[in-house]
Amino acid sequence: MVEQKLLVLFGSQTGTAQDIAERIGREAKRRHFQCRVEALDSYDVANLINELLVVFVCATTGQGDPPDNMKVFWRFLFRKNLPPSSLCQLDYAVLGLGDSSYPKFNFVAKKLHKRVLQLGGNPLLPVALGDDQHDLGPDAVVDPWLLALWDKIFALYPLPPGLEIISPHVRLPPKYTLHYLAEDSPHPDGSPLQPVAPRAVPSELHPFAARMVANRRVTAESHFQDVRLIEFDVTGSGITFSAGDVVMIQPQNCPEDVQQFCQLLRLDPDRRFVLKPMEPDTSLPALLPQPCTIRHLVTHYLDISCVPRRSFFELLSFFSTNELEREKLQEFSSAQGQEELYSYCNRPRRTTLEALWDFPHTTCAIPPEYLLDLIPRIRPRAFSIASSMLAHPDRIQILMAVVRYKTRLSKPRRGLCSTWLASLNPEQGDIRVPLWVKKGGMKFPADPDTPVIMIGPGTGVAPFRAAIQERVAQGRRGNCLFFGCRQKSKDFYCQAEWEELVTEGFLTLFTAFSRDQEEKVYVQHRIRENRKLVWELLSSGSAHVYLAG
């Protein structure tokens, strides 16, 4: 008997689209479909003409842009030379994720739906427009849309006689099996992240282990916010960048959290294991060494500090041996329990590790091979590069606010990446941080005579520091910066640097210190006060204006 095939392709920036794509994959398995779930850019798009049934799940980012992991697919799909009947045998559906507070709400999903239709595809349903602004999040749209989708799919591909849908109360097998190695098996040499001679330009799959050379606090000790200017040495990496580009950093969990997690789940952090996929077309997680220790898996891969999603509680409920805990987990994973889940998890920003604490009977019963299904991987964080290669060759600097805030939970919330980076002291040895560089959204003018007006309050000034350093190194003078912060004495980042450039005639600087006087003064007040100059630069100098928050 041939299993029906379904392909689920996702474009995801923060992980929500991937989470929903994997949910569709699980629902397909329960309905006896042979289902592959893949990121759009890891799928060979030329094969699309041979597919019969595809569900696209895609987020819209920024100003109507596709997520990073579908950009290649996007360019291919919009090629002018694709024949209008290319996809005439394809049945498809598009599920979009967006935010209705943005003008280009779900732009990518709408455009994708229209383009596949143009190429001859047959839509099973109207495009689904999931909305982050809804009280229940995108699920308010996703849940009913998926019910309708399965009705449509079953009308075209009915279940073979004698087969039943696998009950939602039955636990599906894990994606991988985990095989512990004997204590005395030989150890592989070295750490998984070694400063190696790079094969190619560093990327997410092959980050460069950059040495941290400086980690300096640039706010006064008495200031509530800890902001760092951090410098990395990227000599020999092959990395090049220009002003406006972004450095991606792969963070890790702190040792205390890793230890707690292992204690809760009764795992030996030093045990070594290998993973084997359950199905032949499932690839192994790219960033995990084989063999691997539990400690490495939890430190570098499992995002135990993220706010858990609904799918986490759904899978957790299967392991529960305690009736009270199981009922609560089932409520959190039901459509009716989403408001309750929101106030338990999202509003107070409760972490996965903290949620596991609250379900102790269930947590100690989690089979280790389900860890990779249960907890998503740690995603890289993006920082605007705050330096220019022309001023600092082989160096990358970032200006980073350490994220720390209070919710109703007693323990302050901390940003995973900023807390980790802030804790590293380059004077205490060879500190390595995995990173790579991505093109940013800001392009500065090529013409040396075009003036530039930059508005960068707070750490938003980072990309402009890179641009100003670059432009000054090229001898360009038309640089105008509006900078704002709270107090001149506490958080005026790079003050000496700016003042020197003003003296040398390279920079026109306007500052707004909002708390240094009775009435609050912000950058927009300074722009209004200097409207004559701003208008002159725009009208006669055809200046470019840049704004970063």
pLDDT, tens digit, for every residue of 434-484?
Answer: 999 999 989 999 988 899 999 999 999 999 999 999 999 999 999 999 999
> What's the pLDDT tens digit per position in 179-238?
999 987 776 554 545 444 446 899 999 999 999 999 999 999 999 999 999 999 999 999
Confidence of residue 254 (pLDDT cuts 50, 70, 90): very high
CATH of the domain spanning 452-547: 3.40.50.80
- Output the six-digit token pair for 300: 């570098």
Distance CA 418, CA 382 (A): 11
Q: What value does the mean pLDDT of the chain take?
A: 94
Name the 3-class secondary structure at 243. coil
Give residue 185's pLDDT: 74
Give the burial class of 368: count Cβ atoms within 10 A of its Cβ; 0-12 exposed, 13-18 middle, 19 or more buried: middle
Does the structure show a pLDDT above 70 at 2?
A: no
d(CA 329, CA 169) in angstroms, rounded, equals 13
Residue 136 has pLDDT above 50, yes or no: yes
Q: What is the mean pLDDT of residues 353-366?
A: 97
Q: What is the mean pLDDT of residues 261-268?
A: 97
Residue 135: which pLDDT band, with cuts at 50, 70 and 90?
Answer: confident
**pLDDT at position 195, please?**
47
Q: Would 5-156 and 208-250+380-438 be classified into the same CATH topology?
A: no
- The CA angle 544-455-224, to the nearest 5 degrees, is 160
Bridging pattern class, strands 395-401 and 122-123: unpaired
pLDDT of residue 245: 97
Which CATH code is given to the segment(s) 5-156? 3.40.50.360
What percentage of the chain reaches a pLDDT higher than 90?
Answer: 87
Short-list 167, 162, 149, 165, CA closest to 21: 149
Instruction: Give the residue among 489, 491, 531 at the shortest CA–CA distance from 510.
Output: 531
- Portion of the chain with pLDDT greater than 70, in percent: 97
Q: Which residues pair with 542 in a beta bridge?
A: none
- 3-state DSSP helix/strand/coil percent for the chain, to nearest 5? 35, 20, 45
- pLDDT at position 441, please? 85
User: May I ask the CATH architecture of the domain 255-374?
Assistant: Up-down Bundle (1.20)
Instruction: Give the CA distances from residue 535 to residues 468, 479, 483, 545, in Å, rounded to whole numbers and listed in that order.
Output: 21, 15, 18, 11
- Centre a 10 Å sphere on the Cβ of residue 448 and count the other Cβ atoms it contains: 11
335: tokens are: 């459509």
Q: What is the DSSP string of 274-310?
A: EEEESSTTPPPPTT--SSEEHHHHHHHTB-TTSPPPH
**Closest of 163, 147, 137 to residue 93, by C-alpha:** 147
pLDDT tens across 51-95, in order? 999 999 999 998 899 998 999 999 999 999 999 999 999 999 999
Cα–Cα dist 11/243, whole Å = 27
Residue 285 reports pLDDT greater than 80: yes
> What is the mean pLDDT of the segment spanning 101-111?
95
Distance, CA of 185 to CA of 302 (rounded, Å): 25
Q: Are 295 and 288 in contact (CB under 8 A)?
A: no
Give me the phi and psi of 464, to 5 degrees please.
-80, -25
Q: What pLDDT was estimated at residue 419? A: 98
Tell me the whole-structure pTM to 2 decimals: 0.92
Q: Any residues with CB less than 8 A from the CB of 103 and at least 6 apart, and which? A: 63, 64
Q: Which structure tokens are listed for 76?
A: 């291919």
Whole-number Å distance between alpha carbons of 255 and 90: 49
Cα(127)–Cα(135) distance, integer angstroms: 20
Rg (the chain; Cα; Å): 26
* Averaged pLDDT, 387-410: 96
- Residue holding tokens 């200031």? 223
Cβ-contact 352, 312 below 8 angstroms: yes
319 pLDDT higher than 70: yes
User: Given this model, what pLDDT does residue 282 score?
Assistant: 85
For the residues 138-165, what does the mean pLDDT come to? 93
Can you spell out the DSSP letters for 370-426?
A: GHHHHSPBPPPEEEEB-S-TTTSTTEEEEEEEPPEE--SSSSPEE-HHHHHHHH--G
Confidence tier at 279 by pLDDT (50, 70, 90): confident
Amino acid letter for position 52: L
Tens-digit pLDDT profile for residues 218-235: 999 999 999 999 999 999
> Cα(173)–Cα(168) distance, rounded to whole angstroms?
13
Q: What are phi and psi of 316, to 5 degrees?
A: -60, -35
More confident site: 192 or 419: 419
Tokens of 70: 């579908």
* Residue ranges covered by each domain of the chain: 5-156, 208-250+380-438, 255-374, 452-547
Mean pLDDT along residues 42-47: 92
What top-level class would CATH report for the domain 208-250+380-438? mainly beta
The Cα 75–Cα 344 span in angstroms is 41
